[in-house]
Amino acid sequence: MEPVVRSIAERLAEGRPLTEQEYQTLIEQREGELTAFLREQAVSRRRAIYGNAVFVRGLIEISNICKNDCLYCGIRKSNGQCSRYRLSEQEILACTEEGYALGFRTFVLQGGEDPFFTDAVLEKLIGQIKRRHPDCAVTLSLGERSRESYERLFAAGADRYLLRHETAEEGHYRRLHPEALSYQNRMNCLKTLQEIGYQVGCGFMVGSPFQTAAHLAKDLKFVETFSPDMCGIGPFVPHQETPFAAFPAGSAELTCFLLSVIRLIKPNILLPATTALGTVHPRGREMGIEAGANVVMPNLSPVSVRKKYELYDHKICTGEESAQCKDCLQARMRSIGYEIAVDRGDIKK
Ligand code: 5AD
Ligand code: FES
């Protein structure tokens, strides 16, 4: 390792904030020795806080209907090839029932920005889940909404909200999104969620079109200053029916490197080894955990709709039953010396 790089890495490992330029240097100068050093530091910091526990979140993909048109996303409204669905309240409750029996204590309701899911519809749904499973956390991942809406859903019992910022560079944000979406609004939503009292997750894609090391450095600075409870990162994977069909996928290697850096920026953060990471590499999720992640999100959606929630090509876990996904992940985690925890998996403060 270059002495300059070593000094930056050591400061990061000691929990000191870096400048954007320093984050960029780490990304640009990364090689075997730096990667291994940060990985070992990240794993040891995580072990001191969470031991060998990996938290699970049961992901329920409630609707692939979306009014937005993000250029990277397979369920964008312009994709006429996408066969649309929306789960009923009964179907969603059946998923949570099954998930509860399998040991899940967190449910993530994720979907496109589907106008059917008004505040009133969601309040009722969240109330039902909380009544049946008072010991479970409910996480929402339903995109941009108004402050009033976020407040109502919080009051109805939602505990957490995932809203990836996608990129912390405004010009880059514009190249990934249609005119109707703005970086400012996305950032305002994240701030609002935090103010209301949600445990908040931000996140970004790795290797998205036009992304540079300087952009990623901004993402890292944002994670440092915003201090989210969670951060979802995964490689960009092209979808054939989008304008970005011909762009290459992001790498598992860079994603894992960034997982280690984020773990060191905020040692107690909840960091998923994502499905996208498992899609670009057969051992992607194991590699993510070994780089510093501590969460996995098996799919609890009905098998009949899984293939339709195709954000990107070749998404894994679209044919397996929920119990199979859970067993599969349990075996994968055990194979690398970790245990799945039956618990809400709140952040340790
Ligand atoms: N590749 C990887 N991740 C994607 N997402 C959407 N489309 C893609 C893609 N093509 C991610 C976005 C979104 C999350 C739900 O899925 O980051 O926030
Ligand atoms: Fe879904 Fe392995 S986690 S099949």
CA distance 59 to 255: 21
For 183, residues 6+ apart whose C-beta sits below 8 A from its C-beta are 170, 173, 174
Does residue 81 form part of some domain? yes
Ligand lying nearest the CA atom of residue 73: 1
The token pair at 285 is 């999720």
Does residue 244 form part of some domain? yes
Atom of ligand 1 nearest to the CA of 141: 15
Ligand lying nearest the CA atom of residue 56: 2
Does residue 303 form part of some domain? yes
Domain holding 281, by residue range, is 3-341
Q: Could you tell me the distance, in angstroms and rounded to a whole number, from the CA of residue 294 to the centre of ligand 2? A: 17
Does residue 144 form part of some domain? yes
Q: Could you tell me the distance, in angstroms and rounded to a whole number, from the CA of residue 33 to the centre of ligand 1? A: 30
DSSP structural state of residue 166: B
Q: Does the beta carbon of 298 sit less than 6 angstroms from any atom of ligand 2? A: yes
- Per-residue model confidence (pLDDT) at position 321: 94
Identity (one letter) of the amino acid at 320?
Answer: E
Does residue 41 form part of some domain? yes
Q: Could you tell me the distance, in angstroms and rounded to a whole number, from the CA of residue 17 to the centre of ligand 1? A: 28
The token pair at 149 is 């809406």
Site to probe by mutation for ligand 2, drawn from 275, 329, 334 as the one with most ligand atoms within 8 Å of Cβ, is 329
Ligand lying nearest the CA atom of residue 284: 2
Ligand lying nearest the CA atom of residue 316: 2
The token pair at 223 is 């994670």
Inter-residue contact 210 to 170 (CB < 8 Å): no
With 0-12 / 13-18 / 19 or more C-beta atoms within 10 angstroms meaning exposed / middle / buried, residue 349 is exposed
Buried residues in 79-117 as b, exposed as e (16+ CB within 10 A): beebeebebeeebbbebbebbbebebbbbbbbbbbbeeb
DSSP structural state of residue 317: S
| Residue 141 half-sphere exposure toward CB, CA atoms < 13 A | 26
From atom 1 of ligand 2, which residue's Cα is the shortest distance away?
Answer: 325
Query: In Å, what is the CA distance from 52 to each residue of 49, 72, 118, 244, 273?
Result: 9, 35, 40, 38, 15
Q: Could you tell me the distance, in angstroms and rounded to a whole number, from the CA of residue 92 to the centre of ligand 2? A: 20
Query: Residue 81 is part of a domain; what is its CATH number?
Result: 3.20.20.70
Atom of ligand 2 nearest to the CA of 285: 3
CA distance 332 to 277: 14
- Per-residue model confidence (pLDDT) at position 37: 98
Q: Which residue has the tokens 């009923």?
A: 88
Does residue 349 form part of some domain? no
Q: Does the beta carbon of 329 sit less than 6 angstroms from any atom of ligand 2? A: yes
Does residue 348 form part of some domain? no
Counted domains in the chain:
1
Does residue 347 form part of some domain? no
Inter-residue contact 224 to 22 (CB < 8 Å): no
Q: Each residue's pLDDT tens digit in the chain (349 positions)?
A: 999 999 999 999 999 999 999 999 999 999 999 999 999 999 999 999 999 999 999 999 999 999 999 999 999 999 999 999 999 999 999 999 999 999 999 999 999 999 999 999 999 999 999 999 999 999 999 999 999 999 999 999 999 999 999 999 999 999 999 999 999 999 999 999 999 999 999 999 999 999 999 999 999 999 999 999 999 999 999 999 999 999 999 999 999 999 999 999 999 999 999 999 999 999 999 999 999 999 999 999 999 999 999 999 999 999 999 999 999 999 999 999 999 998 999 999 8
The token pair at 156 is 């109805």
Concatenate the DSSP letters of all residues of 240-307 into one string: TTSTTTTSPPPPHHHHHHHHHHHHHHSTT-B-B--HHHHHHSTTHHHHHHHHT--EE--B-S-HHHHT
